[in-house]
Amino acid sequence: MGGSFRSGSVVFALFATGAVASSGLAQETLFRNDDLPVSNANAAIQVGFVAGEVGAATFTLTPQQQADLLPMRIKRVQILWTSFAFQVLGQPQPAVAMESINVYRGGLNPPNLPQPVYFSDPPQLTDGFLNEFDISVDDVILNPPLSTFTVGLEFDRDTGAAYWQGNTLFRPSLVTDRTAPPVLRNPIFASGLGWRDFQTFGGTGDFVIRVVVEKAVVTPVGCNRADITEIGGSVAAPGVPDGQLTVDDIIVFVNFFGDATGCPGAGGTPCNPADITEIGGSTATPGTPDGQLTVDDIIVFVNLFGEGCG
């Protein structure tokens, strides 16, 4: 058998996906390659994965998305996971833990391979559902430049029911649609082979792995929160914090605070560089910029500026 992935798909008419409602939040963007569910469309369970192997989907950002979304945070990952036993016989199989959900920069574009940036804790997968995993707390950020990224499921130890019992596929697995992708966008990390495209194994279709992202607001990394600009920085071109506190930081702070550019903003994200703390924030516990400019921002700025940087 060789222990590596081989295409052994089982086709079924998808009827239970435990659909996850699409997000109503405008700032979230859903990436998906698959076209399921479609009326009477066939899906296919992909069998043969063993521990350490990965089934993945590579997503491409349009130039407009690169401009609008980067740097972006991976918020949630949705994975369709089901068994023939459940789909056809109505026998849902026990939930199982897999090794991890993995995020990579890039995709399978030989000689370039997906570059790992994140491995989750073991996800618990329930048969018959588009399982959704919220990884936003792990702050998985993909920085520019970036045109493609890949998200996959790494399989765990070879436990649970055998794939086949008689002529029936019992073990749940990843699912694909049945329409051929035009490009290399379904990488599989196969034991003993490394990264290969699903097409290499005779497969057609796209993995039903979907990703919800949002533009990441990256808190400037200065020497402290009063370091909001660089020497020569201005409101028009504040640049990046330069690790020192100079008169430019004061001027830029005063101007941003005075004209309130961008404020108030959405809660939880800074509305402009002068928004460095929340109501009640102090130098000891500045908390999170709250999207509004208040006297607390001034107090914290003055105190931090006074403390200076190492």
Identity of the residue, 18 or 220, whose beta carbon is nearer to Ca ion in the bound complex: 220
Footprint of Ca ion on this chain (CB under 5 A)? 177, 179, 206, 227, 242, 249, 275, 290, 297
Sequence-distant (≥ 6) Cβ neighbours of residue 57 within 8 angstroms: 33, 34, 150, 151, 152, 185, 186, 206, 207, 209, 210, 211
Pair of tokens at residue 47: 């069998």
Q: Which residues pair with 182 in a beta bridge?
A: none
Q: What pairing do the DSSP bridges indicate for beta strands 9-13 and 194-197? A: unpaired
- What's the min distance (Å) between Cβ of 15 and Ca ion? 19
Amino acid in position 230 = E
- What's the min distance (Å) between Cβ of 207 and Ca ion? 9
- What's the min distance (Å) between Cβ of 97 and Ca ion? 28
What is the rounded distance in angstroms from the CA atom of residue 130 to the CA atom of residue 135?
16
Query: Residue 196 has what DSSP assignment?
Result: E
Amino acid in position 299 = I
Helix axes 295-307, 247-259, angle to 10 degrees: 180
Identity of the residue, 97 or 263, whose beta carbon is nearer to Ca ion in the bound complex: 263
Identity of the residue, 33 or 87, whose beta carbon is nearer to Ca ion in the bound complex: 33
- What's the min distance (Å) between Cβ of 205 and Ca ion? 5
- What's the min distance (Å) between Cβ of 61 and Ca ion? 18
- What's the min distance (Å) between Cβ of 42 and Ca ion? 11
What is the rounded distance in angstroms from the CA atom of residue 284 to the CA atom of residue 166?
65
For every residue of 152-169, DSSP letters joined together read EEE--SS-SS-SEETTEE
Comparing every residue's Cβ against Ca ion, the nearest one is: 179
Within its chain, how far is the Cα of 234 from the centroid? 34
Identity of the residue, 171 or 210, whose beta carbon is nearer to Ca ion in the bound complex: 210
Sequence-distant (≥ 6) Cβ neighbours of residue 95 within 8 angstroms: 124, 125, 126, 127
Identity of the residue, 127 or 249, whose beta carbon is nearer to Ca ion in the bound complex: 249
